[in-house]
């Protein structure tokens, strides 16, 4: 017999919905842990950054604990969301793009700020991709909205005034292989829709924040869990929300250098220290070898 979610007929915060969540949450937490364990065999990137060459490099930080940020199914960030997003934004803006990832599959939104402690947050944009954990474990919608507001307050206090925040909703839960069951998966997916609506409402009240839903990936390459095409699809969803802001900016994270020469018809080399062919031979410019942490 299929499970029916009685909270479907109630407004968030109603007693009946709260009692339903309290009753079912222990089971859902166990199911979530089982789903995480099922992913232990999957490849995932070990590196934490990606780069696309271009002048005046912009800095993007991606934060989260959901699959699009973890990179399940590929071994390099160049193939995962950071690399796909860097190339999309570089093509759309004509600028270099440096993307750093702070990803932890145990990360909950209520603790997300702690993952950024001691990090340089002089960035052009922060992208937050999370919510699968909270959807599956039935985080209360009121507490979820409080978590979103607290995260935005913390980011505003830590980042430059020009930084933009892009908050991505949870992808449909049943599009995640580990959570495809019709019973518990259906409950988690409906709850994810409620949390997405709460995130959207909070972002509408914050001028520096934008909300975007995340679709289910459509790629299915030879039975792979996830192919680069799926991450490219997500980059094409996120990128347009930042392209205009990045194109208009001047770069908050890189020390400005003048290009050699200066003729307008000379294509400048990439300024970013992450560029594999960065201008180590610029006159008077001595950049230590190696990539930054």
**Which residues are CB-contacts of 72 (< 8 A; sequence separation ≥ 6)?**
39, 42, 43, 44, 225, 226
Task: Give the residue extent of every domain in the chain.
Answer: 38-217+225-248
pLDDT (tens digit per residue) in 131-149:
999 999 999 999 999 999 9
pTM of the model: 0.83
The separation between CA 134 and the C-alpha centre of its own chain, rounded to angstroms, equals 15
Is residue 108 within 8 Å of 165, Cβ to Cβ? no
pLDDT (tens digit per residue) in 230-276:
999 999 999 999 999 999 885 554 333 333 333 333 345 677 777 77
CB count within 10 Å of CB 174 equals 17
pLDDT number for residue 118: 87
Name residues of the chain where pLDDT drops below 50: 1-2, 4, 6-10, 253-267, 279-293
Beta strand 164-168 with 209-212 is parallel
Range 38-217+225-248 has CATH code 3.40.50.1110: yes
């Amino acid at each position: 017999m299929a499970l029916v979610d009685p909270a479907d007929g109630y407004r968030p915060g109603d007693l009946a919905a709260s009692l339903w969540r309290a009753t079912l949450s222990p089971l859902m937490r166990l199911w979530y842990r089982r789903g995480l364990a099922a992913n232990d065999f999957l490849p995932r990137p070990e590196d934490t950054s990606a780069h696309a060459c271009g002048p005046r490099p912009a800095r993007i930080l991606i934060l989260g604990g959901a699959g699009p940020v973890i990179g399940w199914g590929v071994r390099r960030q160049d193939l995962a969301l950071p690399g796909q997003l860097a190339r999309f934004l570089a093509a759309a803006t004509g600028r270099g793009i440096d993307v750093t990832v702070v990803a932890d599959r145990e990360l909950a939104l209520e603790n997300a700020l702690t993952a950024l402690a001691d990090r340089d947050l002089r960035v052009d944009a922060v992208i937050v991709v999370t919510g699968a954990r909270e959807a599956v474990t039935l985080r209360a919608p009121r507490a979820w909205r409080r978590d979103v507001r607290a995260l935005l307050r913390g980011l505003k206090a830590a980042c430059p005034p020009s930084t933009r925040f892009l908050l991505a909703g949870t992808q449909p839960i049943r599009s995640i292989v580990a959570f495809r069951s019709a019973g518990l998966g259906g409950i988690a997916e409906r709850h994810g829709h409620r949390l997405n609506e709460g995130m959207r409402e909070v972002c509408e009240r914050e001028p520096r924040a934008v909300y975007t839903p995340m679709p289910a990936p459509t790629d299915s390459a030879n039975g792979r869990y996830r192919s680069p095409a799926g991450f490219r699809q997500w980059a094409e969803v996120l990128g347009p929300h930042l392209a205009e802001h990045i194109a208009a900016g001047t770069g908050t994270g890189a020390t400005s250098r003048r290009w050699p020469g200066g003729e307008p018809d000379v294509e400048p080399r990439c300024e970013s220290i992450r560029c594999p062919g960065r201008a180590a031979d610029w006159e008077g410019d001595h950049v230590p070898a190696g990539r930054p942490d």
